[in-house]
Structure 1
Amino acid sequence: MTVANQKGGVGKTTTAVNLAAAMAEAGLRVLVLDLDPQGNASTALSIPHQSGTAGIYDVLIEGVALADVIQESPQVPGLLCAPATIDLAGAEIELVPLVARENRLRKALTTYLESLGEEDRVDLVLIDCPPSLGLLTVNAFVAAREVLIPIQCEYYALEGLSQLMKNVELIQQHLNAGLQVSTILLTMFDARTRLASDVASQVRDYFGPRVLRAAIPRSVRISEAPSHGETVITYDPSSTGALSYVEAAAEMRQQEVTA
């Protein structure tokens, strides 16, 4: 599942790492692929990602096996991460001349998943994208079966969403026919404001049952957690932010069972 929205600051990384942690704590084995050069997902999972660390850049550009760069989060057993280093910032340009440039992540991920034994099997892969629609995001779309879009409950929330949907359609037509936008998650929801309720209503009208009932509130604890190298799930499990992500993860698992 790719977590994508070309608009920055909507909670993509926060959503990817907290859903991953909530799923892992529920007993699933989860792999996070950090495709954002900022490496914030790696930071939140306490995964070293300084320049020189083997990471997604080496997989995409050098052809290194994914198994050789994956690390387990010290905070949550069963939560794995392939980190992003600053080298990934140049990957958009370096990918351009490469053969099958859009398929490099899918090939590496498929090879890795097929190599795993039953006891090491990964139940869920979450791909955290940069806030753009460049080649890194295209690789994420081609590698995934589903797209999760976090939507901020703010005035500009739906702006640019039509472009994202068009890009998904192009990927479906030319590179990955099985890709579908399966899940929408409302983030930074403030129930006290009329605006948040209006945006939530618009999004639910547009996307229907794909919008999770759980909405993620604005929360200081969610923002604080990465500075401690943690997700809010382990940093403050009883906070409203953590409970909301646990609820969203449970809802997604239920949808998967129903499907």
Structure 2
Amino acid sequence: MSVISIANQKGGVGKSTTAINLSAALALKGKNVLLVDMDPQGATTIGLGLREATPTIYNVIIDEAEIEEVVVKTPIDGLHLVPSNIALSGAEIELSSQIGREYILRNKLSKLKRNYDYIIIDTPPSLGVLTMNSLVASDEVIIPIQAEYYALEGIALLLKAIRLVRDRLGIPLEIKGFLITMFDKRTNLSKEVREEVKRTFGEKVFKTMIPRNVRLAEAPSYGRPIFLYAPDSRGAKAYMKLAEEVDGK
């Protein structure tokens, strides 16, 4: 059983797309998977067509609901979701004065671990209380990096946060890998970014790269994982390869 956060405080790197489609791919491989949306923007929830789902993770965090009560089914067999919406943005303020606030999600998820092979957490594009909760709750973290200029900008801050979780909070958090997203093999820029990421992080870079793909970009607006929206697309094939790599590591 593994809890994996998908994290990068930089927005627009394919974090929610990865959370949705990696989770769906693992479920299609026969795993029991729980996807936890910890982003107040709710992109993962919306991308699974569950925009109206209530209660949400916010109600769990403020002790208005038990986590078992908020788990909902998704269109993929074997994949369940703990949904989110904009109400979660208030949790940053509400949690700031609580003792042990970084451990809240970890404690809540402990009740569900025996039910799943994987718990995947989509984190917000920041390094605030919600992201720290997600990291503390996790065994591993996947860091998506978009193949564009300034790809590694801000990564040092995230790595510092991961070290903080390890050293000060005593959580044995490991980096599962760095995932290159929106890769376009036709451009020199994408190739240069790939080489820079590999030079910097070596064996920690996933062999699978997620291509820049129109179908992947369209799927969330239809509330479907790529495997239901365009199962034969390059994006679907890439995420299935990623799932095999994650499950084999």
Tell me, which stretches of 5 or more residues in structure 1 are unaligned? none
1:26 and 2:20 equivalent?
no
1:101 and 2:101 equivalent?
yes
Question: Any idea what the Cα deviations from partners look like across 1:218-250, whole Å, max 9, x if unmatched?
Answer: 111001111111011211010001111111111
Question: Any idea what the Cα deviations from partners look like across 1:85-142, whole Å, max 9, x if unmatched?
Answer: 21101110011122311110000001232xx5xxxx3000100001000000000010
Q: CA deviation at 1:253?
A: 1.2
More moved, 205-214 vs 16-25: 205-214
**63 and 145 in structure 1: CA distance in 2 versus 1, 3 angstrom threshold:** farther
More moved, 126-135 vs 96-105: 96-105
Opposite residue 224 of structure 1, the aligned amino acid is: E
Opposite residue 212 of structure 2, the aligned amino acid is: R
In structure 1, the residue matched to 2:8 is 5
In structure 2, the residue matched to 1:239 is 233
In structure 2, the residue matched to 1:56 is 57
CA RMSD, Structure 1 to Structure 2 (Å): 1.1
Between the aligned partners of 1:101 and 1:82, the Cα distance in structure 2 is 19
In structure 2, the residue matched to 1:44 is 47
Between the aligned partners of 1:12 and 1:141, the Cα distance in structure 2 is 15
More moved, 145-154 vs 170-179: 170-179
Question: Any idea what the Cα deviations from partners look like across 1:13-71, whole Å, max 9, x if unmatched?
Answer: 00000000011011001000000011110111222446xx2111011112522111000
**Partner SS, residue 5 of structure 1:** coil
Of residues 20, 41, 48, the one that matches 1:17 is 20
Q: CA deviation at 1:207?
A: 1.2
In structure 1, the residue matched to 2:180 is 186
Q: CA deviation at 1:176?
A: 3.8
Between the aligned partners of 1:140 and 1:199, the Cα distance in structure 2 is 27
Contact 1:186–1:216 (CA<8 Å) still a contact in 2?
yes
1:222 and 2:216 equivalent?
yes
Ranges of 4+ aligned residues in structure 1 off by more than 3 Å: none
**1:128-167 alignment to 2 at 5 Å?**
128-167=122-161
Contact 1:11–1:152 (CA<8 Å) still a contact in 2?
yes
Between the aligned partners of 1:32 and 1:176, the Cα distance in structure 2 is 24
Q: How many residues align?
A: 246
Between the aligned partners of 2:60 and 2:157, the Cα distance in structure 1 is 28
Between the aligned partners of 1:48 and 1:188, the Cα distance in structure 2 is 25
**Partner SS, residue 216 of structure 1:** coil
Contact 2:141–2:174 (CA<8 Å) still a contact in 1?
yes
Opposite residue 44 of structure 1, the aligned amino acid is: G
**Partner SS, residue 202 of structure 1:** helix
In structure 1, the residue matched to 2:72 is 71
**Partner SS, residue 116 of structure 2:** coil
Between the aligned partners of 1:204 and 1:38, the Cα distance in structure 2 is 31
**Partner SS, residue 127 of structure 1:** strand
Contact 1:47–1:81 (CA<8 Å) still a contact in 2?
no
User: What's the % identity of the aligned pairs?
Assistant: 45
Q: CA deviation at 1:177?
A: 2.9
Between the aligned partners of 1:110 and 1:167, the Cα distance in structure 2 is 22
Question: Any idea what the Cα deviations from partners look like across 1:135-167, whole Å, max 9, x if unmatched?
Answer: 000000100010100000001100111111111
Contact 1:20–1:79 (CA<8 Å) still a contact in 2?
yes
Opposite residue 93 of structure 1, the aligned amino acid is: I
Opposite residue 103 of structure 1, the aligned amino acid is: Y
TM-score (norm 1): 0.92
**Partner SS, residue 244 of structure 1:** helix
